[in-house]
Chains A and B, each alone.
Chain A
Amino acid sequence: MASEPGFLPRDGLDRLIEALRRDGREVIGPRVRDGAIVYAPIAAAADLPAGVRDAQSPGAYALHAVSPDERLFAWANGPQALKPLVFVPHELLWSSRNDGADGPQFTAAEPAARPTAVIGVRACDLAALALQDRHFLREPYPDPAYRARRDALFLVAVHCTHQADTCFCASTGDGPEAESGFDLALHEIDDGFIVAAGSDAGAAVLAGLDLAAADQARMDEARAGVEAAAAAQSRSLPSRDLRPTLLERLESPQWDAVAERCLSCGNCTAVCPTCFCNAEVNEATIDGRENGHYRQWDSCFTSGHSYLHGIVIRSETRARYRQWLTHKLAHWHDQYGRSGCVGCGRCISWCPVGIDLTAEVAALAGEGTA
């Protein structure tokens, strides 16, 4: 895997995309769609959001163009992470067919995945993917469909140089620099990209590009870029292990205060790259012979989530917000050995009423008001 970081001039990016397409990979990258940056198939570097910037704040996300800036990755994350590529929003787990006397016959869905390369993955999203791996690939029931899609991913990270006002990955230890979990990583600098490999597959692609080694001046420019992004983050969590803080405050009046604003809409869970809750639902054909057993995204903010023959355990928003926050920041430590928050800030930007989990934690911890 040992290979020197190479320098890819700005106009050479199509060569990288071509190289990724080899072996039949579909290439996915950031694109502007419906006023947001999303991950979608790209054909060439021209599809990337050149000169696009974002403005994010609690409850707000907007894009604007700044010409003649040509940087392609000068924005912070949009609503999606890698989650929909591996833990898909709706998928068949198994189906059953019932023709009568033999009773239902069950067939497992065949896990299939197309080799996919993703360009422009941020450090926080790589950290979130590692968490989803721990959840869905945990023994003794690793999920075969997740496994197949995960193994088919080739990840090209981009070290973050343009944090949003909602980002706080520096305090969770997950960014802005991508440290592991990628095949290739790019530093975007003024005249191009410094490309480094993080896996054997990445090293093979890098070798094929036949790049000149990145010189010291460019390396320094790259380093300064991520350091500035880290320094510019204004939000933070006070500790990486909030377990004791939160569990001492399970009856805090602060939960009532947040419940007055929270709509229980579940947006925060839909955009969170680590949330894994799902529901299993059946969809039968009209004649009742075929039945599909599907898994779809679910949220701990719905009443069905904690339903028990006639009662809803978490019937109030207070209890649902508490469940979400304490699971994410406290119980994830018990379940997966670290916090479930990677500091991407999505739940803050995409909450319709602008609830900010860092402010809620600060208020709970008695360090300020939310």
Chain B
Amino acid sequence: MTLHELPATAEIIERMDDSSSIFTLRLRFVDPARQTAFRSSPGQFNMLSMHGVGEVPISISSDPEDIHFIGHTVRAVGRVTHALATLRPGDRVGLRGPYGRGWPLQEAEGGDVVLVTGGLGCAPVVSVIDYVMRRRERFGRLVIIQGVKHAEDLIWRQRYEAWAHAPDTQVWLAADVGGPHWAWDVGPVTVLLDHAEFDHAQAHALMCGPEPMMKAVAERLLDDGMPTERLWLSMERNMHCAVGHCGHCQLGPLFVCRDGPVFPYPVLAPWLRHRSL
């Protein structure tokens, strides 16, 4: 067995509740050698397992250079994620990973970085924001665009406010349905692209969220003149094995677990055109 196939025991060090159904766990392998050896890059994911319940793929939301713990932000939607939601500091779970290919941060250096997310799509890109913030001099403008369905779905309000005050950083938020305390835009995420200021020729756009949203954003950015190979999408599919064996995550010729979850747009475009692939 390679290191990657067998889960290892990890302990919950800290737990934060981000909303009524979204929570963040900070985990650490019980075996210190395993913790020291763990390296990930933004956009990769782990398989988290609840003893006797099951395993689910969850993106790594912590800074990859933080060697002390591994962060996961989870939305309780079903069997395994509801079980994960019961965890408290000191509890232990199984963890294997990291898996997949993350965001192209080396390629993005020197230009603007535009992050477009929808719903909980923000989880996999928080690590990108941390990454860029820590290496501010290597990147141009940082544009953070987030869309939610309802105003009350927005988590991490303080973080967005803090990011908005960082140098060379823009934060644009929109809700399909606004509310009394919603000071930002109302409408689809694409309206925010009208406000965002960045150099289309030099930027990389990283997208994560529902497929129709990513598709609409990608088409809009292409219309605005962004080169197609500078658009990146993080895809979601049913996953069991995470290593290209089980076949569940296939999208056309791609195994999302192994070839992705982050893909350059030209690789995905032929398959996004068709419903139910």
Contact = CB atoms under 8 A, between A and B. Distances in A.
Interface in A269-302: 276-280, 282, 284, 288, 291, 293, 295, 298, 300
Interface string A309-328: 11001111011000100110
Interface residues of B, number: 42
A93 B245 contact: no
A179 to B, nearest CB: 27
Contacts of B78: 309-310
B40 to A, nearest CB: 16
A279 B237 CA distance: 14
Given A104-B94, A105-B9, A331-B250, A308 B1 contact: no
A313 B276 CA distance: 5
A98 B246 contact: no
Contacts of B245: 135-136, 141, 143, 276, 278
Contacts of B6: 94, 106-108
Nearest to B92: A103
Interface string B239-277: 011011111101011010000000000000010001111
B180 interface: no
B51 interface: yes
Contacts of B7: 94, 96, 104, 106
Q: A interface, by DSSP: helix, strand, loop or mixed?
A: mixed
Contacts of A105: 9
Contacts of B246: 277-280, 295, 298
Contact of A280 (B30, B241, B252, B274): B241
B11 to A, nearest CB: 7
Given A106-B9, A331-B252, A141 B1 contact: no
A24 interface: no
Given A96-B94, A282-B53, A144 B1 contact: yes
B100 to A, nearest CB: 12
A263 interface: no
Contacts of B4: 140-141
Nearest to A333: B253
Q: Name the residue in B78, B237, B240 with the highest tally of chain A Cβ atoms < 10 Å from its Cβ.
A: B240
Contact of A279 (B11, B240, B276): B240
Contacts of A136: 245
Contacts of B236: 308
Contact of A104 (B93, B253, B277): B93
Interface of A: 93-94, 96, 98, 102-108, 135-136, 138, 140-141, 143-144, 247, 250-251, 276-280, 282, 284, 288, 291, 293, 295, 298, 300, 304-310, 313-316, 318-319, 323, 326-327, 330-331, 333-335
Interface of B: 1-2, 4-9, 11, 30, 49, 51-55, 77-78, 91-94, 236-238, 240-241, 243-248, 250, 252-253, 255, 270, 274-277
26 contacts: A96-B7, A103-B30, A103-B91, A103-B92, A107-B6, A108-B6, A141-B4, A141-B244, A143-B245, A144-B1, A247-B270, A250-B277, A276-B245, A277-B247, A277-B248, A278-B241, A278-B247, A282-B53, A307-B238, A308-B237, A308-B238, A319-B275, A319-B277, A326-B252, A330-B253, A333-B253
